[in-house]
Amino acid sequence: MATDFWASSHYKRWIVDRATLKQARADDLQYVEDPEHLDLLAIYFANVISKLGKKLQLRQRVIATATVFFRRFYVKNSYCETDPFIVISACCYVAAKAEESPVHIKNVVTESRLLFSQENYNVKNFPSDNTKLAEMEFYLVDDLECDLTVFHPYRTLLTLCRKEATDSASLFGSEEGEAEEAGIGIGTEDGPRYWGTGEGQLEVTDGALQTAWFIINDTYRSDLCLLYPPHIIAIAALYLTFILNPSMRDTVLPHLPTEHEHSRASMPQQSSAAPQPRRSSRQAHHTAPTDSPKKPQDPIAFLADLNVSLPLIATVSQEIISLYSLWDRYKEDAMSEAPRHNRDQAQSPFSGSTGSTSPAKRSAPESRSGSLHAGNSNAGTPMDTREDLGETGWSDGSYVTPAFLSGVLMKMREARLADMSHPASGRPVAINKMLERTQAAG
Amino acid sequence: MLDERANILQHDPMRIYRAKRDAARRTVASKYTILGFISSGTYGRVYKAQSLEDEGQIHAIKKFKPDKEGDVITYTGISQSAIREIALNREINHENIVALKEVILEDKSIYMVFEYAEHDFLQVIHHHSQTLRAPISNAFLKSLIYQLFNGLIYLHSCHILHRDLKPANILITSSGVVKIGDLGLARLIYQPLQPLFAGDKVVVTIWYRAPELLMGAKHYNKAIDCWAVGCVMAELASLRPIFKGEEAKLDSKKNVPFQRDQLLKIFEVLGTPEEKDWPGVVDMPEYQNMKRLDHFSNRLYDWCQSRIRTPLGYDLLRQLFAYDPDNRLTAKEALQHKWFYEDPKPTWNVFHTVPAHQIPPHRRITQDEAPSMMPVPAHNTSHQGHGHGGVPFTQTQSKPGSTASFGSLSGGGPYGQATGGNGAHVSNRKKARMI
C-alpha cells in the first residue's frame, strides 16, 4: 500500500477530471462576480491551512495532507454552503492523526480561534467548544469516505533525486532511524518504482532540490493534487527546477535539443570531439563546484528515461506556471511590499535557509531568461505562455488580499443562505439583490 | 428571517451542510440486521450482523464506543486507534487479512463492517485444550502458521506493522481461511514523521512482545511481528502461552517499567541473550537491569521435543526467536522455510485435514446484548469470555490472552480489556483525550 500507488484509494477514488471539478464549483460560481475569485480562494484557503499548520507545528507533509483533505471535501461540497474555516481546522486535526503525529483537539481549537479572528479573516465566531470541531471531524471523515492515506509528490522527488555528496536521509524526515526504513524513497526490496522502470537517481544540488520542494509546496495552492498523480506533479516540479534553478539550468542547457542538436548540425566543429554529445565538456565545466570524479548526469536523458508521459509533464508544468501567474495577483498583506512575502514554505526540510521565499522569487534575480515574475518575454523557456494567462488589467498593481477574499466568501455564504430561505423567489434575482444589499451595506 | 440567517452564519454555520448529509446517510439499521453480540473491549463492541442486501451475507460490525460526558454522548474526536484502523483497512486487500466492507458514521458512532470469521486462533487453542484434550495436529498447525505468514508478508510489504499479533486477533473463516484482524494498533512505518516510540509507548500484548521491546528499544521494526508469530506458533503447538509472564504496570508517571518477569519467562526457554548473538543488546536501555537477572541457558530444543515434534519445526521456531531483530527470520523467509515443504504440507483450507467433529464450534453470540446496538449502556464496559463457544476461561481478566476474540483490540493500548492495573486505565483514558 505504502508503495503501491495504483492500488491506493488515492488513485482509485480521488484523481478526478476537470469536469468533476467544474461541477463541484457550479454552485459557488453563481455567487461570485468574477469566476477567478474561486481560483484565488483556492490559494487563500491553502494559505490558511498552511498558517494553521505552522501554528500547530505540523510538518510539511501533514499540511499537505490537510490541504488534500480540504480539496477533496470541496469536490463534494460548496464554499457557499459551508464554513470553510471549521473545515480547515478539521482537516488539520484529522491529517495530524492520519500522519501519526496527533495534536490535541483543544490546541487546534485555540490556534484556530486565534488565527481566524485576525483581521484578514475576520471570523469572530469560531466555536470555542471542542465538540464542534469533533463534530466537523466526524462529517469530514465521512465525506472523505474514510480514505485517509494520501500520497505526496515529495516522496517521488526524494526517490528520484539525490543530493550531491551528502546523505539526505537525515534531512528528509527520516530522523526515525528505523534501520530498514531509513532510506529515502523506495527501497530496493520493493522492486520497480510504482510509476515506471526508471533506475538510479538524479544527482542535484541542495538548491535545486530545495527549489523543486518549494514548487511542490506551491502546487497545493491549486487543484493539481486532485487532477494528477503525485509522481507526475513531482516530475513536473523537477522539470521546472531545471529552468528555475541556476545550477540545474547550467547543467541542462547544453543538452537541450533546440540548442545543442541544432548548433551541432550547423557548426559541427564546435562539438566535433564529442562522440557522446550529452557528455560534453561544457557541461562538466558548468556543474556545481564539487569536483566530483563521477561522470556528470544528463538530466534531460534522465527525465526521458522515466516511464511517464512527457507531454503530460509539460501540461502539468504549464498549469503550475498558470498558478504562479494567478498567485502574482494575490497578496497576503496589503501593506507588504512583496506579493509573495508571506508565502508559507518554511516547513520544508530546508527551513532555516530560505524558508519564506518562493522558488520563482529566489531564482528570479539570477535568472537569465526564466523569471516567472517579470512580464517580459521568456523566449527559449517553457515560461513564455504565461502572458496568455489573463494578466491584463492586473499589472497595474491591483492585488487581491485575504481580507478581500474573506469578504467575497462571506457574501457568497450570505447570498446562498438567502436563496435557501426563499427558494420560491428564484435564485438569480435573489443573489443579485442580496449582493447589492450587502455591498451597499458594507 | 435575516436574524435567523445571521444566527446560522454566526452560531451554527454548518447546520445546512449537516442536515443535507444526515438526510443522505444510510443508517446501519437500514442495511443490516443485528443478529447478536460477539465481544467487546476498550475500543467498543462487536456484533454479528446480516446484510439486508447482497444475499444476506454475514458480517461483523465493530462499533467504536462513543465518548460520553455523563450520560450524554458527545463528539470528542475520533481516536487515533480508530483513525488507524480505518485508514489502513481502506487501503489494503488480501486474502489473509480481514476485509473491511464499509464504514458507517452515524449518530456520533463509527461502525466498521467487516467480513465475518467464524473462528479464531484462541478459540482453536481452547477447543483443543479444554474440549478435545489433544494437541493440534501438525498439518493443521502448519496450515494456520503458513497462512498467517502469508497475510503478514502482505502487511509488511505494505510497510504496515501489526503490533498486536496474538491468537485472539487471528481469525479463521468457516471455509478455513486465516484472516489477520484488528489493525487498531497497526501503523504505517513508511517514512514516519516521528519515531514509532513517540506514538505509542507500549505495543504488543505482553506475552507476545519481542525482547527488543521489553529491553526498552526506541526503534523497532517488522521483526516484532515475527517474534509474535513465533509465540503464536508455540502456543498452538503446546496449547498454552510459551512466555506467560506477569506484566509490570505503568507507574503513576506512566513510565514504562522494566518487564522483569516477562524477560525471565523468555530467558528460561531461550537462555540469557549473549552479546555474540545480539550485539545490540548492550546498548538497550534495560541492559543493566537485565544483567542483574539470573543466568539461563537455551533449552528451546528440549521444549520443542515433545511439542513441535519435527526438527524443521524446531528450526523455524529457533529462527523466529532469534534475539537479534536483524537475524530474526522475516515473514518472507519464514514462508520459504523447509518446514512448510515437508509433509504434511499446508492446505488452503486449514480444516482440510481436521475431522469434522474436531472443528471448533461456531462463535457464540448473545442476544441480550444485541438491543444495545444503538444506545450503549452507560456502565457496562467490563466483559469477559463472550464469544468463545462456551469454553471456560482459565485466566483472570487482566491477562492479555483473555480478551474476547473478535476484533479484540484495545483502544490505543495493548492491554486489551485489562481491568486490573490502574496504570493501564489511566493511560488509556489519557490517550483518548490526547487525540
DSSP output for A377-426: --TTSGGGGGGGTT-TTTTTS--B-HHHHHHHHHHHHHHHHHHHH-GGG-
Instruction: Check residue B69 and give its pLDDT.
Output: 60
Give the separation between CA B154 and CA B270, rounded to whole angstroms.
Answer: 29
CA nearest to A87 within chain B: B14
CATH architecture of the domain with range B119-356 = Orthogonal Bundle (1.10)
Flag whether pLDDT at A158 surpasses 70. yes
Q: Are A131 and B86 a contacting pair at CB < 8 A?
A: no
pLDDT at B1: 54
pLDDT of residue A167: 42
Longest dimension (CA), chain B: 84
- Residue A306 has phi, psi (to 5 degrees) of -70, 145
Confidence check: pLDDT of B390 > 50: no
Q: A with B: how many residue pairs have Cβ under 8 Å apart?
A: 170
Q: CB atoms < 10 A from the CB of B89, how many?
A: 20
Q: How many CB atoms lie within 10 A of CB B3?
A: 7
Per-residue pLDDT, B68: 67
Closest partner CB to B90 (pick from A101, A143, A146): A146
pLDDT of amino acid A294: 52
Reported ipTM: 0.82
Catalytic residue among B22, B107, B120, B164: B164
Confidence of residue A171 (pLDDT cuts 50, 70, 90): very low
Q: How far is B173 from chain A (nearest CA, A)?
A: 24
> CA triplet A173, A176, A181: central angle to 5 degrees?
90
Question: Domain limits of chain B?
Answer: 119-356
Q: What whole-number distance in Å separates Cα of residue A207 and Cα of residue A290? A: 13
From the list B105, B158, B199, the residue facing A2 with the nearest CB is B158
Q: Is A189 exposed, middle or buried (0-12, 13-18, 19+ CB in 10 A)?
A: exposed
Nearest Cα residue in chain B from A413: B9
Cα(B329)–Cα(A169) distance, rounded to whole angstroms?
Answer: 26
- The whole-number pLDDT of residue B70 equals 66
The single-letter DSSP state of residue B366 is: B
According to the per-residue pLDDT averaged within each range, which of A127-131, B39-43, B397-401, B423-427 is highest? A127-131
CATH topology of domain A35-150: Cyclin A; domain 1 (1.10.472)
List of chain B residues whose C-beta atoms are within 8 Å of the C-beta of residue A101: 193-194
Query: What is the distance in angstroms between the CA of the first residue and the CA of the last residue of chain A?
Result: 52
Q: Any catalytic annotation for residue B164?
A: yes
Check if CATH label 3.40.50.880 holds for domain A152-249+284-400: no
Residue B264 carries which side chain, given as an amino acid letter?
Answer: L
pLDDT of residue B256: 84
Higher pLDDT, A428 or B42: B42
Which residues of chain A are within 8 Å of residue B87 when distances are taken between CB atoms?
A: 98, 146-149
What is the spatial distance between Cα A236 and Cα A124, in angstroms, rounded to a whole number?
A: 40
Q: Which of B4, B77, B221 sits opposite A137 (nearest CB)?
A: B77
Nearest in space to B100 (alpha carbons), one of B177, B189, B179, B161: B179
Q: What is the pLDDT of residue A231?
A: 93
Contact state of B86 with A93 under an 8 Å Cβ cutoff: no
Q: Output the CA–CA distances (angstroms, integers) from residue B98 to B23, B48, B94, B176, B371, in the order listed.
A: 31, 15, 8, 13, 26
* More confident call, A281 vs B309: B309
Quick: pLDDT tens for A42-51: 999 999 999 9
Which chain A positions have a beta carbon within 8 Å of B188's beta carbon? 1-2, 100, 149
A159 chain-B contacts, CB cut-off 8 A:
none
Q: What is the pLDDT of residues A81-118, one digit of tens each?
A: 999 999 999 999 999 999 999 999 999 999 999 999 98
Residue B311: the pLDDT is 93
| Distance (Å, whole) CA B224 – CA B208 | 9
Please give the pLDDT value at position B429: 36
Query: Given an 8 Å threshold on Cβ–Cβ distance, is A176 in contact with B191?
Result: yes
pLDDT digit string, tens, across residues A393-414: 344 457 888 888 999 998 998 8
B-facing residues of A in 128-167 (CB < 8 A) are 130-139, 141-143, 145-149, 155
State whether residue B145 is helix, strand or coil: helix
- Domain borders along chain A are 35-150, 152-249+284-400
Interface of A with B in 397-416 (CB under 8 A): 410, 413-414
Please report the pLDDT score of residue B25 as a whole number: 87
Task: Using a pLDDT cut of 70, give the percent of chain A over it.
Answer: 61
Q: With residue A141 as reference, give the H or E element that holds it.
A: helix A130-143
Q: What backbone phi and psi angles, to 5 degrees, belong to A51?
A: -65, -45
Q: Which cell numbers in the block locate residue A402?
A: 485575504
